[in-house]
Chain A
Amino acid sequence: MTVETLLLVAAALFGIGVYGALSQQSFVMIMMGLELMLSGAILATGTLWAMAAGGTPKGQLLAIVLVTVMAVEMAIGFALVVNVYRIRKADITEKLKTLRG
């Protein structure tokens, strides 16, 4: 378990997340891709915190901020999806060509 291998795992998670966020049509699947990217970011933060920053608590604070970002993304994302579905009956990106009301 070295910095390199851990960062490679994080990069793999991030890469899969990028693929998902770009390729999926369903809104919820896109959000899954975003979550995976954030998971890679959290893993990388945790790695660098433990192995390169000597475990100062500030590094973990950054990870906690990332977890907050994840929660915010989920909540606002789902609120938007609910609203879009209610008004436009759209559940995939192709049905949502414009962003106007």
Chain B
Amino acid sequence: MTDWLVMVVVTTTSVGLALTLGIYGTVVLDRVIGRSIAGEPLRLTRALVGPFQHAALLLLQQRSDTERSDSATWAVAPALLGALAAAALAVVPLTPAVALEVSSGIVYFGATMAMVMVAVFLNGWSANSTFPLIGGYRFVAQALSFEMPLVLVLIAAALPAESLNVADIVRSQDTLWNVVRQPLGLPLYLIAALGVSFLGPLGLPDGIDLAGGTVAELSGTALLLWRAAQAAVLVAVSAMGAAVFLGGWLGPWLPGSVWMALKTLLLIALMVVAKHLFGRVRLERFVVVSWVVLIPVALVHVFLSGILALRRIGS
């Protein structure tokens, strides 16, 4: 009983802390990278304080409503998205001590990332408005396309560890990180991660061509919550990528949690750079590329990883 309670308290605290810091880090990185890519002068205090000012503005802003919106599901959508991000982050081992040992951790992570589709669709649907609904439809098509590569590369990473437990996968990278051992893994994962956190090139559900899409009718606190939940999803997928491909807490000199934070921030920064550098791809192009290229490549990747893992076990 007490064991159970301690586990819940420790996990909740660590996930809450990681999400808060991660969301803040994401927003600051977004500002810094955005300004430096645009060639504008960088003012560090503005970048550090700016997120709070923006959040305060959104908190004070009046919240608009549409005619006969489905207000219950509209309120559920950002909460669900944030909860999914937190639930996904719970199985990512942040330090060797706070690793929640779930024997099917990878499947669990895949399930939460599949549920992101539900949250985004609900957010688009509930507004009872055209552009958000189209955004919701878009995300369903997009999610059905990136879901397979996402799960396949994670399963390939589980092969050398001979376990679906994420902590075991981190331990299996003691000698060699998966980013080297499985060179195809991280690029495929990053594409899928951009899709799942609907950013930049894959920010199709709330693209500018849809006049904001799923967020077109959001304002005030609702917009703030939605953006925070989106950043939380980005943090969760980045942390998972850092654990599965970059060796998680493994690293010399520094304590494990610092390494994990640095690697997560590196992946977040990579995705934010992609957000600012690349233009939005068209949905039909992405769906075709995903089913014709990404999924077969991911399958080949699984087979190769399996052969390598078998050879290693055999020798």
Q: Do chains A and B touch in the complex (CB under 8 A)?
A: no
- Residue positions of B touching A, CB distance < 8 A: none
